[in-house]
Amino acid sequence: MQHKLDTLIRQVEQRQDELVGLLERLIRFRTPAPPARNTEEAQQFIASFLQDKGFAIDKWDVYPGDPNVVGVLKGQASERYNSLIVNGHMDVAEVGQDEPWETGPFEPVVRDGVVIGRGAADMKGGLAGALFAVQLLHEAGVRLPGDLTFQSVIGEEVGEAGTLECCKRGYRADFAVVVDTSDLHIQGQGGVITGWVTVKSRQTYHDGTRKSMLHAGGKLFGASAIEKMMKIIQGLQDLERHWAVMKSYPGYAPGTNTINPAVIEGGRHAAFIADECRLWITVHFYPNETYEQVAREIEDHLLKVAQGDVWLRDNPPQFEWGGSSMIEDRGEIFPSLEVDPNHPAVRALISSHESVARRQAIVDVSPSVTDGGWFGDAGIPAAIYGPGNLRNAHAVNEQVSIEQLVTYTKVLLKFIYDWTHTAKQPDAQP
């Protein structure tokens, strides 16, 4: 069997034109998010591709026009051998109207050793390589002992978490590899949560009353919610600096955990004292923290800030955290993911990379976020491993190196084979 696997790995290079052609096919599907609701055709292609390779298909709409596709290839001895999820997202970053693409974002170009097109790096390259690995195994008649689950999900670019919906639907495995942009590093990630902080007055006042609530003897207990939000923002800056001093994580520069006051909305009319102000914040946190934890820290801190202000004491800030879509409800969550370098699957992925690439594997942390955190949140060990780099992700003339795409496909082919041929540990709970 090892000889057969070596032959398949060689075929990746020998048939790289087919691999590149598959990536070109995926790029031609116009799946930017926003606007989203446009992945049906692409996802049906994935479903048909996997069904032809013997996978049982589960396809359902997460949003109208945006279905998830999950293919399950049952192993020959599922109860005794490790199972694997291969996960990637079909949506790609939005495209601006006047961006100077060489041809067009969905008209792929192959030249000088790269494939150019929206999604080449983030992350249709990862999907293409994974699909090609599946194709080669199928053509060779390889029957895997362990289960292989392929997830092509929607919504990653806008926080719609198609991967979370897969977890909710009950899909589990002994390990998951998220084939998103990692430059062939094996990565964990920090997390992101957005939130709204609202300062709201119980009463509404004409702007002609401002003097009475500001100056001596006015005896009107009122305030501008916009001005009080300035104290809230200052409190967030103080907490952000405290985190930068007191928190750290290997692989991250100090101060990577940030609280960004991204959007502010307040007031209703120039003839009113502002009776409400809403602040939209984006919080980045480390892999060893949870989004629930950091949200509690922020709430506790800002409620203490409010206690130091006579008006905010009676009108404390209100909080809304996360959301299921940046499009639908202006909120998102990306949980963090810690990678255990001693986990048997991570060791197997390291071994596959070093055997194929002939260089030491790098296990580190992504400076960005992916759907990988949803596996960690669900208790499924996982890692991010894919072609492409963040300099090209979301960029005009986005591109991926063909050489790296070929290497990645070889590694993933070997890893799928090796992991699903590895006997389960006695305490494994997929």
Distance CA 1, CA 420 (A): 13
Q: Judge whether residue 416 has pLDDT over 70.
A: yes
276 catalytic, yes or no?
Answer: no
Measured at the CA of 170, the angle between CA 410 and CA 383, to 5 degrees, comes to 35
What integer is the mean pLDDT of 373-395?
97
Token pair recorded at residue 254: 């100090």
Fold of 2-189+337-420: Aminopeptidase (3.40.630)
Confidence (pLDDT) at 429: 59
pLDDT for 285-332, tens place per residue?
999 999 999 999 999 999 999 999 999 999 999 999 999 999 999 999
CATH architecture of 191-321: 2-Layer Sandwich (3.30)
Q: How confident is the model at residue 430 (pLDDT cuts 50, 70, 90)?
A: low
156 catalytic, yes or no?
Answer: yes
Q: Whole-structure pTM over 0.85, yes or no?
A: yes
Contact between 405 and 114 under an 8 Å Cβ cutoff? The reply is no
**Domain edges within the chain:** 2-189+337-420, 191-321
Count the neighbouring beta carbons within 10 Å of the beta carbon of residue 106: 17
Confidence (pLDDT) at 87: 98
Contact between 349 and 415 under an 8 Å Cβ cutoff? The reply is yes
Distance CA 127, CA 427 (A): 31
Ranking 166-175, 212-221, 269-278 by mean pLDDT, the lowest is 212-221
Confidence (pLDDT) at 263: 98
Distance CA 259, CA 21 (A): 42
Count the neighbouring beta carbons within 10 Å of the beta carbon of residue 426: 5
User: With pLDDT > 90 as the criterion, what percentage of the chain qualifies?
Assistant: 95
Token pair recorded at residue 352: 């596959």
Q: Which of 91, 157, 240, 398 is catalytic?
A: 91
Q: Return the biggest CA–CA distance within the chain.
A: 91
Q: Which of 24, 66, 147, 156 is catalytic?
A: 156
Confidence (pLDDT) at 117: 98
Confidence (pLDDT) at 428: 60
DSSP string, 201-236: -SS--BGGGHHHHHSTT-------HHHHHHHHHHHH
Q: Judge whether residue 121 has pLDDT over 80.
A: yes
Q: How confident is the model at residue 1 (pLDDT cuts 50, 70, 90)?
A: low
